[in-house]
A and B are shown apart, each in its own frame.
Chain A
Amino acid sequence: MFHPLASVTLSKDPRMTRSITRRELLQRLAALGITAPIFDVNHPQGLDFTHLNSPTPKKYLIETMGGGVALFDYNNDGLLDIFLVNSGHLSNPQPLPEDFDRHEARYWNRLYRQNPDGSFTDVTQQAGLANAGDGNYGMGVAIGDYDNDGFQDIYVTSYGRNVLYHNNGDGTFTDVTAKAGVAAGGWSCSAGFFDFDNDGHLDLFVTRYMVWDTQHSKVCGGEWDTYCPPGEFPAISSILYHNRGDGTFEDVSVPSGIAAQKGKGLGVSFADYDGDGFTDIFVANDGMRQFLYHNNHNGTFSEVGLESGAALTADGKPISGMGTVFQDYDNDGRPDILVTVLPREIYALFHNDGDGLFSYRSLQTGLGELTAASAGWGVGLEDFDNDGWKDMFVAQAHVLDNVEEIDHMLHYKQIPLLALNRDGRFVRADCGVTQAVAGRGAAFGDINNDGRMDVVMTVLGGQPMVLLNDDGAPNRWLSVALRGTRSNRDGLGARVRVNGQIRFCTSSGSYLSANDKRLHFGLGQADTAKVEVLWPSGTLQTLENVRAGQFLTVTEPEKPEKS
């Protein structure tokens, strides 16, 4: 997995007898007009996780849908740690009661603590995360400080019972699911923390895929045995939990209007798309129209996907929505929606035109060329080359493990997509991955704190890939961490503007995964930045002449500066 350019010794030139770093080499190559991969595909020492999905001839759908990954700093040491969701053991056929052997260590979810030297240590057992519950077949993960104690908590979704782990602040976690009342049930996929009523406490949204269980599973595909398409199973509603602020949650799916819509939710992302100060929700549905829930400010939501133009393609066709991200790709100040889908479709980019309207911009942005033959899952819009434009990374692979037998033009395992943003149009770039894999989840963050955004991508039934950004471009950057006081402590829901670029603070998005909540901005050649934070509380905070190249923590004023 090491890239050939990872380490090179130039010994013939007497001035270069030392080993030069990969970055130095890339910079020299770039000066010569030679491009090189942005990522160094890495397998850090200590990260020994293998995802186990246990595929069977029964083609149980859950086999092909996991698993998630989170990048977060659980012990507040300034280094990002990695949490990986495992799936479980399936029998052929799966008997009742459903038991996925999660008590066996190889089926555990895993927490890896990052060490100062960049290696990782498996701390699953000592953190109290060892047993994921035998009735759960793992799916995804959401991260957020739901009790505002300054430590990030973990919510794990499953086919079965979801689990909320409270971070005790001493390196351990406690399963508080029963007390919190967030076990859900059925088949949960992506989830995310956000504060829908701006009360300073993080609420929780959980997508559910469909009404399905192993006893009602079936095999499709005629002469080819394949996983069934979503149309074979009934839709189901997502769940919205309201945080009461006392460590418990209330299921408000019905009174909020969320339960009024039945979908096939796989991905969820959050942003305030209409600038009204309240966070809205986008749900990526598989094989049907997408949902955009507008926040009505009174605890209810209206599903406005169709009338806003974010539900279907420009041709009025439904898509197989899987992963999603809700960020501003074209620097016009409004968050846009990107949805990953299956081949023969195109990753959907819904441009936020303002006035509550979106337009389908996949073709104009180059996604027709880049993605029509691909199947995408985890997705991020991050500025990988720090030029001030958010680029795209997508974990790719087909959902059917035997798709090549059915359609010679399609591939099960695929290389992830890295597409650099050139003034709003995406152009393929070398991501550094040379071997096609069954990519699924993807989490984004600056793992080694070098001012460049990195990626952790999960591989179905395989080892995760760590893509360390070693871009040689000499662009500057700024990383902004928010600390809410009157708003939720994570600052989720804040809108941060840096030198004209906007990011919406969220740890959600992608597919089944949770991202570093710090907000990363590429600054191009700028040495300084103007930082404006619009907090969920309504406070607008401005910082002038902020030096580039630093990790900046912005604390919300106790008293509002300006509303």
Chain B
Amino acid sequence: MLPAALLLLSLAPQTASSAAAQHVHAGIEADQQGHIDQAIAEFKEATEEDPKLASAFLDLGQAYVEKHDYASAIPPLKRALELDPSIRGGHELLGYSLLAQGYADEAASHFEKAHDTAALGISLVEAGRPADAIPYLKEAVSKNPDDPDLLYYLGRAAGLLSRQAFDALESRFPDSARAHQMMAQNYAVLRDEPNAEKEYKAALQAKPDILDVHMELGQVYARAQQWDKAEGEFRIEAQMQPGNAEAFYRLGDALLQQGKVKDARVALERSDKLRPNMPQTLYNLGKAASLDNDPASAEKYWLRVLAVEKGTPLAAQSHFGLATIYRREGKQAEAARQMQEYEKLQIERPSEANP
């Protein structure tokens, strides 16, 4: 967590007494040789020789940090900042020490003064202030997009914020439609279909025109392979939100699973119009067309899938579908080529055996 640069700080005792300065130099030398306990003893001597020497307290604090003795690091670092509030590296070191000891709120104030957005965001998360943390973490992630710690804390902050909001929803509005929807989502995650269904229905009873609940309930039915019920819910959502591409996609998928290919095509085409070139929509359009004995359209859609999907399972499925079409049309060479592509992707991506 500590930037390496901070650990290499060696602050020159510009205004120190000669005795204090000698101890500081001896401490720095011992530190550089890896004799950390000897360095601490020297820095302690320096602070006793010159109790006003901020840099000696900072060096002592830093030496304790190097030793991972954060509890001991905090008093000299605080003293250093009392003596010199603008001392370089002081707020960072004290912030890290405090954070390491669980004093996240106090740490945050020091990181704020040090303008360390990453550490500030993390300390705010640890302080239970995810809403405050998120802007800092987003800024830090934008600067260091591949830092796993930052990504973790940003995700954690969002999760905590979500939980806080849901806790408030549950405690203050327990009978509201959204509270039932939230409970339903929790049950759905646990794959507890009966309770999820019950809560979604309670949400709809509380507020019949609430958005997204029919779609979510439909997804519960879809996961349970109850496609007729899923179709009903997706259809209502699509009627409520005629501009929602996902609602039409899911309706089309539910219809397709039931073999209602003509109706499925209508819904999927609508989804494609609302949000063009979604690979799964295009694939299902191809599948529906194929099942509807319209190979020309199926070919068109699956070629569109392959224009946007490379090397994915959906691409493999499209190659397989095209091979089937070409074989039926007597285009054996084309069929063989598509099967080659399909099999290539199977080898690269072996299928999981069903338990």
Question: Hey, what's the 0/1 contact readout for A389-413 against B, CB within 8 Å counting as 1?
Answer: 0000000000010000001110000
User: Is A500 interfacial (CB-CB < 8 Å)?
Assistant: no
Do A231 and B257 touch across chains, with their CB atoms under 8 A apart?
A: no
- Complex interface: chain A residues within 8 A of B258 (CB): 363, 366, 368-369
Q: How far is the CB of B168 from chain A (nearest CB, A)?
A: 29
User: In the complex, which of the residues A287, A366, A368, A372 contacts B354, with contact meaning CB atoms closer than 8 Å?
Assistant: A287
- Complex interface: chain B residues within 8 A of A320 (CB): 354
User: Which of A33-41, A304-312, A458-466, A513-521 binds B?
Assistant: A304-312
Do A408 and B192 touch across chains, with their CB atoms under 8 A apart?
A: yes
Query: B304-322: which residues lie under 8 A (CB-CB) from chain A?
Result: 316-317, 319-321
User: Is A340 interfacial (CB-CB < 8 Å)?
Assistant: no
Do A372 and B257 touch across chains, with their CB atoms under 8 A apart?
A: yes
Do B225 and A364 touch across chains, with their CB atoms under 8 A apart?
A: no
C-alpha spacing A250/B292, complex, angstroms:
47
Do B261 and A306 touch across chains, with their CB atoms under 8 A apart?
A: no
A226-B355, A231-B353 are known contacts. Are A364 and B291 too (CB-CB below 8 A)?
A: yes
User: Is A252 interfacial (CB-CB < 8 Å)?
Assistant: no
User: Is A342 interfacial (CB-CB < 8 Å)?
Assistant: yes
User: Is B351 interfacial (CB-CB < 8 Å)?
Assistant: yes
Do B339 and A306 touch across chains, with their CB atoms under 8 A apart?
A: yes
- Complex interface: chain B residues within 8 A of A318 (CB): 351
Do A363 and B191 touch across chains, with their CB atoms under 8 A apart?
A: no
Q: How far is the CB of B288 from chain A (nearest CB, A)?
A: 9
A315-B287, A369-B258, A409-B223 are known contacts. Are A307 and B355 too (CB-CB below 8 A)?
A: no
Query: A344-364: which residues lie under 8 A (CB-CB) from chain B?
Result: 344-345, 353, 357, 359, 363-364
Q: How far is the CB of A39 from chain B (nearest CB, A)?
A: 25
A309-B324, A408-B191 are known contacts. Are A314 and B259 too (CB-CB below 8 A)?
A: no
C-alpha spacing A231/B350, complex, angstroms:
11
- Complex interface: chain B residues within 8 A of A229 (CB): 353-355
Question: Hey, what's the 0/1 contact readout for A216-232 against B, CB within 8 Å counting as 1?
Answer: 00001100001001111
The residue on B at minimum CB distance from A316 is B320
Q: How far is the CB of B298 from chain A (nearest CB, A)?
A: 10
Q: How far is the CB of A100 from chain B (nearest CB, A)?
A: 26
Do A316 and B321 touch across chains, with their CB atoms under 8 A apart?
A: yes
* Chain A interface SS verdict (over half): loop
Question: Hey, what's the 0/1 contact readout for B341-355 against A, CB within 8 Å counting as 1?
Answer: 010000000011111
- Complex interface: chain B residues within 8 A of A341 (CB): 354
User: In the complex, which of the residues A287, A315, A363 contacts B353, with contact meaning CB atoms closer than 8 Å?
Assistant: A287
Do A315 and B354 touch across chains, with their CB atoms under 8 A apart?
A: no
Do B317 and A315 touch across chains, with their CB atoms under 8 A apart?
A: yes
Interface residues on A, range: 35 or more
Question: Hey, what's the 0/1 contact readout for A363-388 against B, CB within 8 Å counting as 1?
Answer: 11110110011000000000000000
Question: Hey, what's the 0/1 contact readout for B220-259 against A, CB within 8 Å counting as 1?
Answer: 0001111110000000000000000000000000001111
C-alpha spacing A312/B319, complex, angstroms:
13
- Complex interface: chain B residues within 8 A of A372 (CB): 225, 227, 257
* Chain B interface SS verdict (over half): helix
User: Is A244 interfacial (CB-CB < 8 Å)?
Assistant: no
User: In the complex, which of the residues B257, B317, B339 contacts A369, with contact meaning CB atoms closer than 8 Å?
Assistant: B257
User: Is B112 interfacial (CB-CB < 8 Å)?
Assistant: no
A318-B351, A363-B256 are known contacts. Are A368 and B227 too (CB-CB below 8 A)?
A: yes
C-alpha spacing A436/B84, complex, angstroms:
79
- Complex interface: chain B residues within 8 A of A369 (CB): 227-228, 257-259
Q: How far is the CB of A165 from chain B (nearest CB, A)?
A: 35
User: Is A422 interfacial (CB-CB < 8 Å)?
Assistant: no
Do B354 and A345 touch across chains, with their CB atoms under 8 A apart?
A: yes
User: Is A317 interfacial (CB-CB < 8 Å)?
Assistant: yes
C-alpha spacing A229/B355, complex, angstroms:
4
Q: How far is the CB of B189 from chain A (nearest CB, A)?
A: 12
Q: How far is the CB of B253 from chain A (nearest CB, A)?
A: 11
C-alpha spacing A231/B190, complex, angstroms:
27
The residue on A at minimum CB distance from B222 is A372
Do B259 and A364 touch across chains, with their CB atoms under 8 A apart?
A: yes
- Complex interface: chain B residues within 8 A of A309 (CB): 324, 327
Q: How far is the CB of A47 from chain B (nearest CB, A)?
A: 34
Do A408 and B193 touch across chains, with their CB atoms under 8 A apart?
A: yes
Query: A260-318: which residues lie under 8 A (CB-CB) from chain B?
Result: 286-288, 306-307, 309, 312, 314-318
C-alpha spacing A226/B355, complex, angstroms:
9
The residue on B at minimum CB distance from A315 is B317
Do B342 and A314 touch across chains, with their CB atoms under 8 A apart?
A: no
C-alpha spacing A306/B226, complex, angstroms:
30
C-alpha spacing A106/B354, complex, angstroms:
34
The residue on B at minimum CB distance from A372 is B225
Question: Hey, what's the 0/1 contact readout for A198-221 against B, CB within 8 Å counting as 1?
Answer: 000000000000000000000011
Query: B186-203: which residues lie under 8 A (CB-CB) from chain A?
Result: 190-193
User: In the complex, which of the residues B223, B226, B261, B352 contacts A231, with contact meaning CB atoms closer than 8 Å?
Assistant: B352
User: In the complex, which of the residues A286, A315, A365 contacts B259, with contact meaning CB atoms closer than 8 Å?
Assistant: A365
User: Is B328 interfacial (CB-CB < 8 Å)?
Assistant: yes
User: In the complex, which of the residues A232, A364, A409 contacts B193, with contact meaning CB atoms closer than 8 Å?
Assistant: A409
Do A368 and B353 touch across chains, with their CB atoms under 8 A apart?
A: no
Do B355 and A220 touch across chains, with their CB atoms under 8 A apart?
A: yes
A363-B259, A368-B227 are known contacts. Are A357 and B290 too (CB-CB below 8 A)?
A: no
Do B290 and A314 touch across chains, with their CB atoms under 8 A apart?
A: yes
Do A400 and B327 touch across chains, with their CB atoms under 8 A apart?
A: no
Do A357 and B355 touch across chains, with their CB atoms under 8 A apart?
A: no
Do B224 and A373 touch across chains, with their CB atoms under 8 A apart?
A: yes
Q: How far is the CB of B277 from chain A (nearest CB, A)?
A: 20
User: In the complex, which of the residues A221, A314, A368, A425 contacts B355, with contact meaning CB atoms closer than 8 Å?
Assistant: A221
C-alpha spacing A346/B261, complex, angstroms:
17
C-alpha spacing A315/B327, complex, angstroms:
15
Q: How far is the CB of A556 from chain B (nearest CB, A)?
A: 37
Do A317 and B328 touch across chains, with their CB atoms under 8 A apart?
A: no
Do B191 and A407 touch across chains, with their CB atoms under 8 A apart?
A: yes
Do B354 and A342 touch across chains, with their CB atoms under 8 A apart?
A: yes
- Complex interface: chain A residues within 8 A of B290 (CB): 314
A373-B224, A409-B193 are known contacts. Are A316 and B342 too (CB-CB below 8 A)?
A: yes
Do A314 and B287 touch across chains, with their CB atoms under 8 A apart?
A: yes
Do B355 and A400 touch across chains, with their CB atoms under 8 A apart?
A: yes
Do B228 and A316 touch across chains, with their CB atoms under 8 A apart?
A: no
Q: How far is the CB of A369 from chain B (nearest CB, A)?
A: 5
Do B327 and A316 touch across chains, with their CB atoms under 8 A apart?
A: no
Q: How far is the CB of B231 from chain A (nearest CB, A)?
A: 10
The residue on A at minimum CB distance from B283 is A315
C-alpha spacing A344/B191, complex, angstroms:
14
Q: How far is the CB of A222 from chain B (nearest CB, A)?
A: 11
Question: Hey, what's the 0/1 contact readout for A86-125 against B, CB within 8 Å counting as 1?
Answer: 0000000000000000000000000000000000000000
Q: How far is the CB of A412 from chain B (nearest CB, A)?
A: 13
The residue on B at minimum CB distance from A343 is B225
Do A230 and B259 touch across chains, with their CB atoms under 8 A apart?
A: no
Q: How far is the CB of B340 from chain A (nearest CB, A)?
A: 12
Q: How far is the CB of A466 from chain B (nearest CB, A)?
A: 30
- Complex interface: chain B residues within 8 A of A319 (CB): 354
C-alpha spacing A363/B292, complex, angstroms:
11
Q: How far is the CB of B287 from chain A (nearest CB, A)?
A: 6
Question: Hey, what's the 0/1 contact readout for B5-40 against A, CB within 8 Å counting as 1?
Answer: 000000000000000000000000000000000000
- Complex interface: chain A residues within 8 A of B291 (CB): 314, 363-364
Q: How far is the CB of A229 from chain B (nearest CB, A)?
A: 4
The residue on A at minimum CB distance from B264 is A363
C-alpha spacing A319/B190, complex, angstroms:
27
Given contacts A286-B354, A342-B354, 7 further A-B contacts (CB under 8 A): A229-B353, A314-B291, A316-B319, A363-B291, A366-B258, A372-B227, A373-B225
Can you identify 7 A-B contacts, CB atoms within 8 angstroms? A344-B225, A357-B328, A363-B259, A369-B257, A369-B258, A372-B225, A425-B259
Question: 4 closest A-B pairs (Cβ-Cβ)?
Answer: A231-B353, A316-B320, A372-B225, A287-B353
A residues touching B (Cβ–Cβ < 8 Å)? 220-221, 226, 229-232, 286-288, 306-307, 309, 312, 314-320, 341-345, 353, 357, 359, 363-366, 368-369, 372-373, 400, 407-409, 425
B residues touching A (Cβ–Cβ < 8 Å)? 190-193, 223-228, 256-259, 261, 287, 290-291, 316-317, 319-321, 324, 327-328, 339, 342, 351-355
